[in-house]
Structure 1
Amino acid sequence: MKPLGYVRAGSVEEAVAEFTARPGARYLGGGTNLMDLMKLGVERPTALVDISRLRLDTVEETADGALRVGATVRNSDLAAHPLVRDRYPVLSQAVLAGASGQLRNIATTGGNLLQRTRCSYFQDTGKPCNKREPGSGCGAREGVHREHAVLGHSPECIATHPSDMAVALAAVDARVELFGADGARTLPATEFHRLPGAHPERDTEIRPGELITGVVLPADTAGVPSLYRKARDRASYAFALASVAAVLRVEDGIVRHAGIAFGALAHRPWRARRAEEALLGAAATEDAFGRAVDLELEAAQPLRDNAHKVRLARNLAVDVLTRLAAPAIA
């Protein structure tokens, strides 16, 4: 038997202090990903710091019209919240597209952002994986990689981030709130996750010991038409082969704001900045959407068995943008 410490934190400050005092500790929220990885032997924490009872479980409107979502808000509660459904439907749709009802009832907002890759080479301790064991190699690159990255990958890692929620957060310009030994700070959701580079073991820009305390959904994108679509091998309880979250404001047939993010194409949600720039001030037509998305996907570097993801993502994005624009140009 391997010893495993456990402590239930009574405050954010206590959680960070306990984590810092216990090298090798992990925070425990819903545990839907962490516990799986512990069973597989991928994660071997020395202690668990339980944050599930912290008062971070509410969705609150701020003075400037933004919404603050606490880190321990359950995925089911987030998707069903009236203000989220009304102002940010893309987020509700993305959350409901992920996992199963049972898992959404347990999984938390912060935990969803911190999911590890579902690459089979990462999960199998008998196979090489630079993310799990730096320097061991990437078995997927010449192995089974039908579901792997086509954007932003490196020789060290071709895994994709599995979260649906994180893709929607990137599209709406959300911010992630963090608290650590140096105090509080925030990061744009688009900068929270990392591309693999030479250090695929680092999924995020979170600092050692830092705790996610919440996510802020900005007032600027509240109520702007938005939509999430996900392509997968089966109709439910499956990770995406490609997904798209989009926020689109069209006035007099012209695109005035576009926020587009792809999921399952890269090591992090991929914000389509080139496509957005091409669309601003352009006519909201299917042809314009196609040209803009093609411009973004020029950066794709598909591998032997996953070139289909580029066409799939392209078709999803054009469909989503066309649907969003339809009411404004009817």
Structure 2
Amino acid sequence: MDSSAPTSPDPMPSTQPEASPKVIQVRNLSKVYRTGFWLNQKIPTLNQCTLDIYEGETFGLLGQNGAGKTTLLKVLLGIVRPNEGTAMILGKPLGDRSIKHRVGYLPENPYFYDYLTGWELLEYTAGLFQIPPAEQKKRIPDLLDLVGLARSAAQKKQLRRYSKGMMQRIGVAQALINDPDLVFLDEPMSGLDPLGRFQIREIIQSLQQQGKTIFFNSHVLSDVELICDRVGILANGELICVGNLDDLLGMTNLYRAKVRDANPEVLRQWMPDLQFKDGAWEGHLKGHPQDFFASLHLMDAQLVSMSLARPTLEEYFIQQLRIRGIKSSQ
């Protein structure tokens, strides 16, 4: 791991411009569940969480299984009541019913009426929002196109015959049927193969282009690193750090490159720490990347990859858990 990685981050850096409205404001939220025969055992799930989410941003909440991610999301949605603290959603306090039509939600494990077709599910959900039939006829095909489901399959195939990836896509469609301003997605990539994850990422990126505010939980850190404006790490119910990737991982102009079919003597002028590993030359780049590309072209070499020489989000995540003495698996 890069020694320049921050080891004691500011837990609440803010990189959003002050002019951006706050869509979610969380202050000192705590939640304790009671269990046992006499309900005399307390299980703390959230501990004094404070967080702001801004209009139009995509925020990824990271954490291990059991860290409290879903509990925080359910508190914000009004499904679970907190024991302490306050929160505002779209300018209204928790539980205010007037904002429901402006919010979309995909649960981690959605359970729909499996005898319905995908089209019927969207019609049913649209009816809950009192969307006129004429508007439904326009919106449902558009949503099916957005999530990559064929209209014929959605009209004829029952949900019980959907694959995991198809179920996730129809779940995203139902979360968007009311054209929400704020979208909550709980583990949207969970259980998907690489192609399914790529497709869900594309959907989220299309929502970003529409200016939607997106709050999603995940432990697939590579996906979060690609699409989020800011991230937060939740560990044992505590929000231990929040910020964009430059805040958390550190800013650097140093690159690491991997090259094939190149002259190592020439490469060493660009990468003094050059090493041969897994069939390719790699090392830290010294000099301007454009000049390096020109040199590769003259050598007729192949650039395999080039990335910023800083820790990945996964490395940073594990580091933060270790600093706090938290095991990386549960």
**TM beyond 0.5:** no
Could you state the TM-score of these two structures normalised by the residue count of structure 2? 0.24
Q: Of the two structures, which has the highest relative contact order with CA contacts closer than 8 Å and spacing of 6 or more? A: 2
Greater strand content: 2
Greater helix content: 2
Could you state the TM-score of these two structures normalised by the residue count of structure 1? 0.24
Q: Which structure would you say has the larger Rg?
A: 2
